[in-house]
Amino acid sequence: MWVTSLVHFNMWLTSLVYVTIFVTSLGGASLPLVVNTWAFKDTASAAWEALQSGGSVLDAVERGCGQCEVDQCDGSVGYGGSPDERGETSLDALIMDGDTMEIGAVADLRRVKNAIGVARAVMEHSLHSLLVGESASVFAEDMGFPAEDLSSNSSVEIFTRWLKGSCQPNYRKNVVPDPATSCGPYRPRTTRTTRTPSGTPRNTDRRSHDTVGVIAISEKGHVAAGTSTNGATHKIPGRVGDSPLVGAGSYADSSVGGAAATGDGDVMMRFLPSFLAVELMRGGSDPSVACQVSISRIKRYYPEFFGAVICANIRGHHGAACNKRPGFLQFHYMIVNSETKRPSVQTVDCF
């Protein structure tokens, strides 16, 4: 039975390779290379300029993610967006060095705008990998990052509308009063129900989950990857998504390549999609195939989840994959390499 299952899996994987040949042709081999999630052109430009000016791949990832934080990309990265149930914006970020396998990450960061910079400070100025909450904010201030208000007129307006709309949508379940019609405070309900298979709250759009992910590969094959986000809009305070978790939000290994994910982090983190994609590339899979298999693993359990993965290997090939849902049929990502010399939008059709 085990042999039969393995044969079936190999047949499925082979068919998937044939299906993705047309995507593979997009990923020309050229180094150095920058790849980032979404059509965030300024993110790609900032990362590429860092490499061209002699910076390291870590510099490129930090500059790219940092630019998106300043630009408040889609309102889902950086300050002033995605208020939680209390109306507060908090930030998550991760950076990984594919040469040393060191990481630095912060989650539920408050009062400090440059989350990716703080993540790198965790990596370079501590023996830890991840700091969270108020203590992460204190660490950042000790490292010289200024304390600032992360709210904006936009985030205040979003929060106010949400309160007036009976706190819809939200991330509560098995509580009273009914979270589908009422705001809290909530308390546990004695009779429990099962969460919907999609794992996605009502009326949630993709901008509730956007993450900027950046992969940078130098001409010599050094790899770094990172992510930054302000998390899910209307999240329960203290929630940490996939973005600051190594192997979930992003992953880098200079013997293979890198990957980064964006989407419904509460679902995606359970499958470590970035780590899986890198391991598939280690086994010889093309980046496009690696991304698609990684997404397929999640889709098997959560067919309606929202998410995408970008991948790149040290030969300069790149690819991406996403899960199809109403209103989201394609995924756009950016690349810059020694051939394009400027940001170029790439598009893949979702499953």
As annotated, the active-site residues are 211
Q: Pick from 256, 257, 255, 231: which is nearest to 245 by CA? A: 231
Q: Side chain identity at 293, as an amino acid letter?
A: V
User: Which residue carries 């429990």 as its tokens?
Assistant: 192
SS3 of 197-243: CCCCCCCCCHHHCCCEEEEEECCCCCEEEEEEECCCCCCCCCCCCCC
Residues written for the chain:
351
- Find out whether 264 is annotated in a ligand binding site: yes
- Find out whether 263 is annotated in a ligand binding site: yes
- Find out whether 239 is annotated in a ligand binding site: yes
- Find out whether 262 is annotated in a ligand binding site: yes
- Give how far Cα 197 sits from Cα of 175, 298, 302, Å: 18, 11, 6
Q: Pick from 20, 32, 12, 35: which is nearest to 262 by CA? A: 35
Residues of the binding site: 239-242, 262-265
Residues of the binding site for substrate: 239-242, 262-265
